[in-house]
Amino acid sequence: MCDPVTDDLSDLQVEVPKAPRRAFRQIDPGARALVVAVCVMVMLVAALLPWVDGASGWQILFGLAPAGTVIGLVPIIYAVCSTLFGVVVSAAALVTRLWALAFAGAAGCGFSTLTSLLAIWSQQSTSSHEPGPGPGLGLILGALTLIVLTFQWVKLTFTRD
């Protein structure tokens, strides 16, 4: 006959040794979770706004820019990196609370910040002596949001107990 108390104790004996390792692999974002979640939403809004010559971020990401719009390689790299790290990895790290994903978010958002600055610069300069078309509002909003995300993930990954 099965004794429920004995079964519970045997399950507990298996789980207790795993607890420190599980706690070591996880983060507790606390109030930063709200900041990161808002930043993920702002990144999605930034993808809807114009980036390059009226083409929005999602159009650049999926290669659906209007005909005649010249989009360089740097804004495309930025669109991929910002979506991957600023939205996907950040959301996955919040949901799973895994330290490895938070660290990937910190490193990826840092790299995406650099690509965002290069994308903004590429829109301001041309090969001639005339200024470029200038960065769109979505490009600037995404860059600022990635800076905030980078600081949030860095603080979360390096202030772990």
Q: What pLDDT band is residue 129 in, cutting at 50, 70 and 90?
A: low
Highest mean pLDDT among 50-54, 127-131, 132-136: 50-54
pLDDT of residue 11: 65
Average of per-residue pLDDT across 1-19: 60
Residue 5 domain-assigned?
no
Has residue 1 been placed in a domain? Answer: no
> In terms of residue numbers, what domain contains 78?
27-158
Is 96 a member of any domain? yes
pTM summary value: 0.81
Pair 146, 106: CB distance under 8 Å: no
Average pLDDT rounded to a whole number, residues 100-114: 95
**Which residue in this structure is represented by tokens 């290669």?**
63
Q: What is the pLDDT of residue 17?
A: 59
How many Å apart are CA 32 and CA 34, to the nearest integer? 5
In a domain, 131, yes or no: yes
Flag whether 13 is in a domain.
Answer: no
Contact between residue 39 and residue 145 where contact means Cβ atoms under 8 Å apart: yes
Q: Is 123 inside any structural domain?
A: yes
C-alpha to C-alpha distance for 61 and 45, rounded to whole angstroms: 14
Instruction: Please report the beta strands in the chain, taking only residues with DSSP state E, as ranges in sequence order.
Output: 50-52, 55-56
Question: Residue 128 — pLDDT band, cuts 50, 70, 90?
Answer: low
Assigned domain for 15 exists: no
CATH number at residue 42: 1.20.140
How many other C-beta atoms lie within 10 A of the C-beta of residue 85?
27
**How many distinct structural domains can be found in the chain?**
1
- The helix/strand/coil state of 56 is strand
Kindly write down the DSSP assignment for every residue of 51-114, as one continuous string: EETTEEHHHHHHT-PPTT----HHHHHHHHHIIIIIIIIHHHHHHH-BHHHHHHHHHHHHHHHH
pLDDT in tens, 32-81: 999 999 999 999 999 999 988 888 999 998 988 888 877 888 999 999 99
Residue 49 within a domain: yes
